[in-house]
């Protein structure tokens, strides 16, 4: 296929009606996506689960069925895409192709998710959709893969939301809001994602009276290939904490290539300022990037609550010692009298 910017457009001319947030966990990317979706009237293209942010049943589903915030393409979308497998292996051309297909076949994907039968789609038909279909409405895309060249999608409204300081506090925020939550395994589609054999292993490995946690699911999903290859991998909570800190520690100090950050500095947002900012600077920065004022009263109250959530635990949002955060998390279940499998 030809170069993406020459052969694939979203609205017939470019990608200017696509609002894109690439972010790491715990940085408030869902809140930013939700806020932008409301402002640009993309609500009809975005579905919200019931619940409040920070609870087990809160989540944002973007205009593309969350395909690029997950490690694998969901089984109910595979028949309608040209490229499946691990999404981190998709180049920008494959991503652009899949985005157009996800919009065009959205109804069929949702029907298949519900267990209904749908028609078979040929690769020729998919190619025709990619070339000829036009999407005129504003759309929202969330991703977790900074080192992909999104700028090749002409006029896309991209923002990069990553920790440039105080990453240990953002790690704590992530754990409190996501990883410590109990999950409904059927709703999360864990069995089809893991496969029957690994799902059985998962149920036994993390069995506890109070159900299964998000961090346990994350470990299983991340190690699916190793499991089916018969290779060993760590499954305990302390390793999960250490690994999360290692892979998300201070992205701004060059877990990312230095030149990459410099080249994209105009669109790189400090996640700490977004989550805890107490002035107009972060809102002005975003407005200069995508011409949208996200400094709503709701967002300001959200920032205040973020700070309160941390400081109510007896930890300052300016705490610099990562061991303070780690020890708090290691003792979280014991202090709260909760039984959880796989703690050690």
The string of DSSP codes covering 96-119 is HHHHHHHHHTHHHHHHHHTT----
* pLDDT at residue 266, rounded to an integer: 64
* pLDDT at residue 254, rounded to an integer: 38
The reply to whether 242 falls in a domain is: yes
Q: Is 18 found in the same domain as 54?
A: yes
Q: Is 187 found in the same domain as 158?
A: no
Q: Is 186 found in the same domain as 38?
A: no
Q: Note the pLDDT tens digit of each residue in 264-301.
A: 666 888 999 999 998 899 999 999 999 999 999 999 99
Q: Which residues of the chain have pLDDT under 70?
A: 1-6, 43-59, 146-147, 248-266
**Residue 276 — φ and ψ, nearest 5°?**
-125, 5
Going by the DSSP 8-state scheme, the letter that residue 86 receives in this structure is B
Among 162, 186, 210, where does a domain finish? Answer: 162
Other C-beta atoms lying within 10 Å of the C-beta of residue 227: 17
- Token pair, residue 145, equals 């893969």
Q: Is 185 found in the same domain as 89?
A: no
Q: Is 314 found in the same domain as 209?
A: yes
The reply to whether 275 falls in a domain is: no
Q: Is 176 found in the same domain as 154?
A: no
* pLDDT at residue 75, rounded to an integer: 86
Q: Is 223 found in the same domain as 99?
A: no
* pLDDT at residue 336, rounded to an integer: 84
* pLDDT at residue 251, rounded to an integer: 41
Q: How far is CA 274 from CA 23, 83, 163, 236, 262, in A?
A: 12, 34, 10, 31, 20
For the chain, the domain total comes to 2
The reply to whether 36 falls in a domain is: yes
* pLDDT at residue 252, rounded to an integer: 39
* pLDDT at residue 158, rounded to an integer: 92
238-269 core/surface letters (b: 16 or more CB in 10 A; e: else): eebbeebbeebebbbeebbeeeebeebeebbb
Q: Is 82 found in the same domain as 101?
A: yes
The reply to whether 263 falls in a domain is: no
Q: Is 128 found in the same domain as 16?
A: yes
Among 131, 147, 162, where does a domain finish? Answer: 162
- Token pair, residue 233, equals 């991998």
Q: Is 186 found in the same domain as 141?
A: no
* pLDDT at residue 146, rounded to an integer: 67
The reply to whether 204 falls in a domain is: yes
Q: Note the pLDDT tens digit of each residue in 252-265.
A: 343 454 555 556 66
The reply to whether 27 falls in a domain is: yes
* pLDDT at residue 267, rounded to an integer: 83
Q: Is 68 found in the same domain as 178?
A: no
110-141 core/surface letters (b: 16 or more CB in 10 A; e: else): eebeeeeeeeebeeeebeebbeeeebeebbbb
Q: Is 180 found in the same domain as 156?
A: no
Q: Per DSSP, what are the bridge partners of residue 157? A: 19
Q: What is the pTM of this model?
A: 0.83
Q: Note the pLDDT tens digit of each residue in 67-113.
A: 998 878 888 999 999 998 888 889 999 999 999 999 999 999 999 98
Domain that holds residue 179: 168-248+308-335
Tell me how far apart the alpha carbons of residues 109 and 120 are, in angstroms, rounded to a whole number: 12
* pLDDT at residue 178, rounded to an integer: 83
Among 162, 178, 205, where does a domain finish? Answer: 162
The reply to whether 87 falls in a domain is: yes
Tokens 């290859």 found at? 229
Going by the DSSP 8-state scheme, the letter that residue 45 receives in this structure is G
Other C-beta atoms lying within 10 Å of the C-beta of residue 311: 12
């Amino acid at each position: 296929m030809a170069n993406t910017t020459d052969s694939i457009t979203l609205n017939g001319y470019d990608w200017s009606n696509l609002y894109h947030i690439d972010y790491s966990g715990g940085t408030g990317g869902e809140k930013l996506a939700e806020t932008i979706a409301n402002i640009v009237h993309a609500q009809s293209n975005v579905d919200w689960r019931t619940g409040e942010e920070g609870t087990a049943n809160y989540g944002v589903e973007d205009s593309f069925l969350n395909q690029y915030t997950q490690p694998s393409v969901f089984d109910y979308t595979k028949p309608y895409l040209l490229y499946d497998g691990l999404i981190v292996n998709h180049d920008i051309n494959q991503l652009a192709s899949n985005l157009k297909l996800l919009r065009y076949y959205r109804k069929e994907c949702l029907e298949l998710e519900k267990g209904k039968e749908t028609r078979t789609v040929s690769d020729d038909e998919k190619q025709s959709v990619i070339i000829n279909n036009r999407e005129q409405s504003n759309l929202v895309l969330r991703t977790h893969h900074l080192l992909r060249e999104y700028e090749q999608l002409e006029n896309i409204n991209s923002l990069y939301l990553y920790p440039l300081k105080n990453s240990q506090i953002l790690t704590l925020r992530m754990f409190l809001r996501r990883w410590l939550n109990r999950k409904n395994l059927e709703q999360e589609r864990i069995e089809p994602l893991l496969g029957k054999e690994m799902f059985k292993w998962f149920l036994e490995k993390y069995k506890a009276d109070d159900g299964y946690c998000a961090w346990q699911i994350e470990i299983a999903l991340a190690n699916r290939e190793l499991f089916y290859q018969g290779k060993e991998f760590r499954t305990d909570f302390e390793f999960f904490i250490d690994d999360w800190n290692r892979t998300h520690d201070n992205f701004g100090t060059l877990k990312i290539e230095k030149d990459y950050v410099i080249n994209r500095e105009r669109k790189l947002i400090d996640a700490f300022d977004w989550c805890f900012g107490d002035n107009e600077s972060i809102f002005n920065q975003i407005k200069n990037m995508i011409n949208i004022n996200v400094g709503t009263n709701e967002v300001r109250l959200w920032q205040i609550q973020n700070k309160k959530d941390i400081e109510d635990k007896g930890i300052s949002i300016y705490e610099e010692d990562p061991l303070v955060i780690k020890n708090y998390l290691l003792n979280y279940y014991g202090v709260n009298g909760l039984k959880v499998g796989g703690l050690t």
